[in-house]
Structure 1
């Protein structure tokens, strides 16, 4: 606006609703005054220019001071509200990577996509086999996400992921949900501040980052001995540990044992897949019926709008009545469109086919596992397990969904004859 008024000397009048819609500080007031224009303040009934009377300028100056005071008071109240929110555990700012702001509820929630990348960053760096540069390349290759070394470093040091945040120079405990393990975070901090920064290994340690010591909760790492043999051991970040060292072949066999439990009877698989297909068929039929009903409603609303507009043009209905009805009809039209969009989002993929593939994988995973090399075995395990607790004699995995439910049913042989139970 200022640039336009400077370039177009023929335009010398500025229409403004009221003072605080134009400026709220003295600097902007001086800028407008130097333009040598007439400012018409519509709601205040004032015209201000260099030729205005002193009384008009005084009243305008009072309005400007009041507007400035309102702005400063608003800022103070906003800061006060943010500090109050922080003291109650709510983060008042923009959520860090891995989280997102829920504007409707004014809370912070876990981002379902970015949180997986953050968890992967911590897990990979905690193994001790990555630098920030190699971590950057690995995440880009795995997730397609480009993160700078600086951003990765900020993520790895951010205490927000373990429930704390900084605001106004103070540290507050947060009430936001967490998804990063505290022991993994501490291990990452130890590596970041330690003298021996992680160096990429010349030989890939396949199962590193997948196992956790059941004695002290530290991760298991791997070492190459005699440039040939790989041994796994507890990192020992919490002191000396009782866990013995394992050769890679030994730990590979142990990790494969839990896969035998993921067996589902074929007749149960067929029942579940058949039931899911029937559910999908019924759901699709309901969606088609509901969509047809909404389309009829939408057509009816639009016909009313067209008829009412024609009546308005013919003078059959007054202007205010037409505007009021149009507002109601537009709102109803918007609600119908939202309902139709909701039906579109409800049309998910082939759940029966997805379930069938999951069961096929569960039934074949052990036979595939024993035929793979260590690197491929590790990939299979990471797809099925989120973590494995290892002691001197056993391996206890934590299954990812939905394999956790399959394992519970399979190990207890609780496959029911009722389709709804399965």
Structure 2
């Protein structure tokens, strides 16, 4: 009788303990050795899971049997032929029709009779049950890992799977490289392509070798995936949902949200031969696309730089007029003048902060209440979103997208609330911001183009250009500092004010507002960005501020 030999080895977990293809062939050769009634027509070796139909070599073998090229199949065990109901039914149906007359197995004796087919059907059914139960056990284990805060599969670059503890831990230098990549992104001065170039060429970074992968230079797409992966902020994305993780994050949740804002901006400039002062900063106030720069030469030979919407060369064409760089620069300087605190007020702020003996208890309580209210609001929005999905008002894609946004915002707020409980609140963030406000215009006029863009990104959010007018909205901490200048006693003579009882009450209220502003998580985050930039621009100014603070605290402690 003519036979096909069929050996199968799955690459998935269900068959990792099953004999290899070579071992199966050896057992089959031993089975048919010396059997003159067995004629081998062909051998099939397939590395494919049988839990779903669609194995190409198995399907080809069954078609050849139906054409009469062979009358039997030899395999190591029935589960090599089928682990799903369709393939198992196909084998039994071929036995019923007579196109398949016999089956030989190394570990099972088959008889082509009603009882034999009944037992074969039971074995196929048990094989399917084994796969299904194994799948359920694996999924249950994965759900348990997710609930415990650990990612069930392979850790991303920067981390490694710890076999001893079953957790995910930082992977030495790879973890630090990823941290430095996020650091470059958060400066706002590097595109993904530039970060990739720095990591691959300047740092010479080679990805970790895991099994058959890695050991190569970092790819551009991998760089983009790293900077977009919420795992590095302490999340686990599993089956379209975000879950809190227990692994050590590379960046805080606030920093990750800031990174996503930078990546999501449509104003990210392409690599250019020339660098323009305001390239990649502004968006068009009419259509929302980025504003680009263009250099033009007059007949007289004089060159001008103009800024205009990128849709000027597209259809439909944006009708917003262009603006000359000199005029744009004048309006930006006017904005920088607006955020600069008057010298008398700035000095009073510094003195008030350094001489304040009030505790931050009330400020911490106020910030905690704001964060608690924000968390309650976000949880309610998540609940309402789920209700809308149940009533089929929103679709699956929209639901998943909005749920992830709300989940990330809730996690960031919870992180800020937890940090607010333990972090020591000082006036240092406000001192940094006050220093930036007072020096911003001077630094801006002397800085290179990259530093100018970094200054504007820290000072303002969503810069817009419309009708030849610059619309710059200062970020919240700078707006609050500006509002505090509205206290009337700050505009008068300090000596006269001290004699005024009403002014004393105003100064007390001002200190309270300064404390609340200093305790605000957004103020702390912006101050960190500002400090990092000042260290690059004018480290001496920062050193003088730190030295003055230390000497002032020393004098205060000695006097007490």
* TM-score computed with the length of structure 1 as normaliser: 0.48
Higher RCO by CA contacts (8 Å cutoff, separation 6 or greater): 1
